[in-house]
Structure formats: structure tokens, C-alpha cells
């Protein structure tokens, strides 16, 4: 993609399923293999991104939840079941046709909600035949008569198995922010209001946080304190009220791996 020295980069996985890229039948017959990476880059880096390969397109910024809407539970209440759980139960209960079991559906979409299992959930939806990717033929085409057995917002599909890669990356990042403060720093910068850190964590995790307990955990708790005040005030926020205090990660720990990982005060789902 033309990224030059991104601040954070790690290998995600290798994707080599037979037929994942329909060009294998049109071009040369060899299995298409992709190596995916997870990178955290600044938004201003977008103009520097370049299409990759002869079939590449110009990249752009999009919300991950346009493609994985079932992973965004920020508007849910603690006692609200995932809207996909009941139809998946009914679909699994029909049995046969390689459908996922009811137990798997309840484990992936039921309570307690585990936000890190994004890759498992999209694989289950594909096995259930709920996504257009699961209905594509060897040329990557979806039959005109196809319709999803689930009446739900299934988001925008992507080429090949790229939505699967996206779900795996989201699950990886959701786990990473719990034990690698450096990942959080790349999301909010060197100096930030606590509200920016709160919004970054909830956006990545896709679920609500108890704000007072979140701030208390990161600023006051002896065992989980990660940030400290810089004594400075933010400027040009465009928000009403007094300017918020700026914080930074404690220098001696921001690049370490935490053990044990943080237990963010998520609202129960």
C-alpha cells in the first residue's frame, strides 16, 4: 500500500484458502496467497497511501463498522441480547447443510460478550450462509436470486476474503489495547485529553465503558495507572466549557507489555 515506516506494524495472518481469489482461475491457475498486516497510522497519512499491485485501487478511510456492523455494540444496554443471536439460534436449529451448531452461535453472539472474537463471528456467519461472500461462485459472483437467511444489517461486503482479514485485524487490535500501552499511544498521540482516550478505546472495542471507573483505573489505581497529567490544557478543541487537561503515558511503561492485561470496565453485555 505504499506505507513508509508506519509507527506500528505487525504480521496478522496468511490467507491461502483454495479459490479465495477468483483470479486464480482466470489468470494462471495457481492458488492466490495473501499475507496480511496490522498497522496503526495517523489519519494524515492517507494521502501517502498508494494502490498496490496491478489490481489495486486507491485506498480511503472508512469505519470498520460499515463492513462489520454486528461488532459495534456501543449503543447496547447491559441486558440487551445481540439482535443476531435469536435468528442464528433458529437457523442453527434447522440443522444440516453444514450449518453452525446452536452452541457455537450462543457462544459467539451470546453473553458474556467477548469483543475479541470478531474473527470467529464472521466465520460463523459465513458458515451459516448469511453473508454474500459465502454464496460467491468460483468467479467471485453472487447469484442474483441469493438472499441472506438473516434479516439484519450485514454491512458492506468486500473483495475476496478481505472482510475476514478485517475482522481478524479488529479482534487482534481489541486484544492488543489491553496489554500493550504503546498501541493506545499510537491511537491518541503523545498528549491527549482523557476523553480522546475514552473514545478511542470504546471505538476499537465496540462496546460502552463506565467512564468514571475507566478514568479512575488509568489515572489513580496503583496497579493499572498508565497515564499522568502534563499540567497543560488543550487548545482549539471547539468544545464548550473549559479546556480539558492533557495527559501522557507514563514514560517507563508505555512501551512495555502489561502482565496481567487490563480489565477495562466495560458495561456488561
135 in Cβ contact with 141 (< 8 Å): no
Task: State the residue range of the domain holding 225.
Answer: 180-249
Sign of the alpha-carbon dihedral angle for 215, 218, 220, 223: positive
Q: Is there a domain that residue 267 lies in?
A: no
Q: Is there a domain that residue 190 lies in?
A: yes
pLDDT, position 268: 79
Task: Evaluate if residue 96 carries a pLDDT over 70.
Answer: no
76 and 130 co-located in one domain: yes
Out of 46-50, 58-62, 179-183, the most confident range is 179-183
156 and 227 co-located in one domain: no
- Taking CA atoms, 219 is separated from 42, 159, 224, 242, in Å, by 25, 43, 8, 20
Confidence of residue 57 (pLDDT cuts 50, 70, 90): low
Q: Is there a domain that residue 266 lies in?
A: no
203 and 126 co-located in one domain: no
106 and 159 co-located in one domain: yes
pLDDT, position 28: 64
| pLDDT tens-digit map of 234-248 | 886 667 778 899 999
120 and 191 co-located in one domain: no
Confidence of residue 100 (pLDDT cuts 50, 70, 90): confident
Q: Is there a domain that residue 189 lies in?
A: yes
**Better-scored residue on pLDDT, 45 or 227:** 227
Amino acid at each position: 500500500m505504499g506505507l513508509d515506516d508506519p509507527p506500528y506494524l505487525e504480521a496478522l495472518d496468511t490467507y491461502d484458502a483454495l479459490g479465495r481469489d477468483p483470479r486464480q482461475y482466470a489468470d494462471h491457475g495457481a492458488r492466490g496467497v495473501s499475507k496480511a498486516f496490522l498497522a496503526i497510522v495517523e489519519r494524515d497519512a492517507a494521502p501517502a497511501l498508494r494502490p498496490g499491485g496491478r489490481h489495486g485501487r486507491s485506498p480511503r478511510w472508512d469505519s470498520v463498522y460499515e463492513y462489520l456492523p454486528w461488532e459495534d455494540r456501543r449503543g447496547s444496554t447491559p441486558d440487551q441480547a445481540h439482535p443476531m443471536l435469536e435468528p442464528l439460534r433458529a437457523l442453527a436449529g434447522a440443522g444440516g447443510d453444514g450449518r453452525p451448531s446452536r452452541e457455537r452461535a450462543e457462544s459467539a453472539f451470546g453473553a458474556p460478550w467477548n469483543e475479541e472474537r470478531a474473527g470467529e463471528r464472521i466465520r460463523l456467519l459465513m458458515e451459516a450462509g448469511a453473508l454474500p461472500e459465502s454464496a460467491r461462485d468460483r468467479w467471485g459472483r453472487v447469484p442474483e436470486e441469493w438472499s441472506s437467511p438473516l434479516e439484519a444489517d450485514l454491512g458492506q461486503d468486500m473483495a475476496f476474503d478481505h472482510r475476514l482479514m478485517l475482522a481478524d485485524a479488529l479482534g487482534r487490535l481489541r486484544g492488543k489495547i489491553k496489554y500493550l500501552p504503546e498501541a493506545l499511544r499510537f491511537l491518541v498521540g503523545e498528549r491527549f485529553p482523557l476523553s480522546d482516550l475514552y473514545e478511542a478505546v470504546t471505538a476499537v472495542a465496540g462496546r460502552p465503558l463506565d467512564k468514571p471507573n475507566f478514568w479512575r483505573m488509568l489515572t489513580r489505581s496503583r496497579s493499572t495507572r498508565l497515564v499522568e497529567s502534563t499540567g497543560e490544557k488543550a487548545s482549539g478543541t471547539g468544545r464548550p466549557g473549559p479546556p480539558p487537561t492533557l495527559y501522557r503515558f507514563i514514560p517507563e511503561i508505555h512501551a512495555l507489555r502489561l502482565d496481567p492485561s487490563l480489565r477495562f470496565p466495560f458495561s456488561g453485555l
